Chain A
Amino acid sequence: MKLPPLIFNSIGKFLVFAVLETVCILLIINSSIVQNYRIMEGVRNVQSFFWEKSTSLKKYAKLSDSNRKLEEENSRLLRQNLFFRNYIIRTMGESKLEEISGQLKDNASDSSLTNYSFTLAKVVKNTLNSTHNYLIIDKGKKDGVTEDLGVMTPSGVVGIVRGVGERFSYVHSFLNLKQSISAKIGSTESPGTLRWEGGSIYKAYLNEIPLNTEVSKGDTVYTSGNSSFFPSDIPVGRAVSFSIDNGAHKKVEVELFQDFSNLDYVIVLRNQDKREIDSLSAILPPEPKK
């Protein structure tokens, strides 16, 4: 079929216009930082829109699988609950069960988690193949998300919010060489730095653990709560092995509980006291007089 000359001409004009404007936009991006940032923000918004739509489609296709996993998780938790209930009733009696339930309710109000509010977010994009991986989540400024908020799932830490748009946020994944979190091993209170060092997405390393700290294979690694990003005692992984690093510290290889290849939903944590903690951290101690 032959195109009418008028349409052919219009397409030609549009193409020339598009090429010239693209050249102009590239020149603007290269000559000004503010314009570069704003234009790229616009481009990212468009990209996020498409990522969101394609992810929704993928999620829809995987809905039966997600439901099956949820059912499995529910039945596992139910079995676990029944097991503990029966164990307590069998060994200590029914009155003890009520006593423990009461204690748990009281303790829940004192928990470190009460300082945090939670926002559920859907993962729109999740990179895994880089050494500086990131996630895009579908919650932004309008949902109260700000920079420097922790992101986790019930299986562990996911990352930290580093950029916020109106509807989407950019999260530095834990699988990013620039990212580290404060963590501790077992019941010890000595915090170290948990960092992914590239390679397997299921392995990370807990560094700077004092030599006198007892470390055993299979010990659980928890968040230390020393930063305002994450509350303490969130299990993040299991110790696989350890070595002495430079004769000064222990370096523990950790198998992560979080499966980053299967992230659908995450929880954004907002520490209610973060502003106050940060403002105090910003006050530097006076320099000692020489």
Chain B
Amino acid sequence: MAWLKYIYGFIVILVLQLLCCEFVNLWPMLYIALIPIMVILLPSSVSTYAVMLCGFAIGLLTDALADGILGLNAACCTFIGACKNMITRPMMKYQIQGEDSSVEGFEFRKGKLVALLTICYTLFFVPYVLIDGAGVSGVWYLVARIVLNVVVNVIIAFLLIRLWIRRYF
């Protein structure tokens, strides 16, 4: 049943992401990315292979449904998928001290959750901005874009997880 909840949650986030891509155009520099949340929140018991494949599938689905560069979200989500377990597992161990193994990413305390989201969104936006900018823009523009996107998206993801996902799961 837990998997059904995840799938339902993913569908909601995917719909929100597509709505953001279609209707939320705040600034050309800014991209509201909700799909990395789906990859970050996958249970820690899922193997890295499966996380990478899920990231690839989720990214590709978003690329196919939204009006963007096909493969861009898929590449970045796969990248997060490859690193996700390496980041979350040590964080979990530190928190639970080897006793409670059921603590997942969305159950982290505020500080740890922000750290997790910041690392994952940085991993997402560094390749995203570099490929999207593709050497057309200057270095400082790219750095500013990465920082802005990471900050805004971490805030949005944090609120989404604390206000909805944490209660829902």
Binding site for B on A (CB under 8 A): 12-13, 16-17, 20-21, 23-28, 30-32, 34-35, 37-39, 41
A16 touching B75 in the complex, CB below 8 Å, given contacts A31-B69, A34-B134: no
| Contact residue among B52, B63, B135 (Cβ-Cβ distance under 8 Å from A20) | B52
B-side interface mostly: helix
Q: Which residues of chain A have C-beta atoms less than 8 A from B56's C-beta?
A: 20, 23-24
A13 in contact with B75 (CB, 8 Å): no
Please tell me the size bucket of the interface on B: 20 to 34
| Contact residue among A20, A26, A28, A41 (Cβ-Cβ distance under 8 Å from B69) | A28
**Roughly how many angstroms separate A17 CA and B49 CA in the complex, as a whole number?**
8
Binding site for A on B (CB under 8 A): 48-49, 52-53, 56, 59-60, 63, 69-72, 74-75, 78-79, 82, 131, 134-136
CB distance from B63 to the nearest CB of A (A): 8
Considering residues B53, B60, B74, which has the most beta carbons from chain A within 10 angstroms of its beta carbon?
B74
B134 in contact with A38 (CB, 8 Å): yes
**Roughly how many angstroms separate A37 CA and B134 CA in the complex, as a whole number?**
9
Q: Which residues of chain A have C-beta atoms less than 8 A from B59's C-beta?
A: 24
CB distance from B154 to the nearest CB of A (A): 24
**Roughly how many angstroms separate A13 CA and B82 CA in the complex, as a whole number?**
8
| Contact residue among A13, A16, A31, A37 (Cβ-Cβ distance under 8 Å from B71) | A31
CB distance from A73 to the nearest CB of B (A): 43
Q: Which residues of chain B have C-beta atoms less than 8 A from A28's C-beta?
A: 69-72, 75, 131
B134 in contact with A35 (CB, 8 Å): yes
Once A and B bind, how many residue pairs between them come within 8 Å at the CB atom?
60
**Roughly how many angstroms separate A34 CA and B136 CA in the complex, as a whole number?**
9
CB distance from A51 to the nearest CB of B (A): 21
B52 in contact with A24 (CB, 8 Å): no
B71 in contact with A24 (CB, 8 Å): yes
A41 in contact with B135 (CB, 8 Å): yes
CB distance from B82 to the nearest CB of A (A): 5
**Roughly how many angstroms separate A153 CA and B26 CA in the complex, as a whole number?**
56
**Roughly how many angstroms separate A26 CA and B59 CA in the complex, as a whole number?**
15
**Roughly how many angstroms separate A28 CA and B70 CA in the complex, as a whole number?**
6
B135 in contact with A13 (CB, 8 Å): no
**Roughly how many angstroms separate A27 CA and B73 CA in the complex, as a whole number?**
11
**Top 3 closest pairs, chain A to chain B, by CB:** A27-B71, A24-B75, A38-B134
Q: Which residues of chain A have C-beta atoms less than 8 A from B82's C-beta?
A: 13, 17
**Roughly how many angstroms separate A187 CA and B115 CA in the complex, as a whole number?**
79
- Closest B residue to A42 by beta carbon equals B135
**Roughly how many angstroms separate A254 CA and B1 CA in the complex, as a whole number?**
82
| Contact residue among A24, A37, A39 (Cβ-Cβ distance under 8 Å from B78) | A24
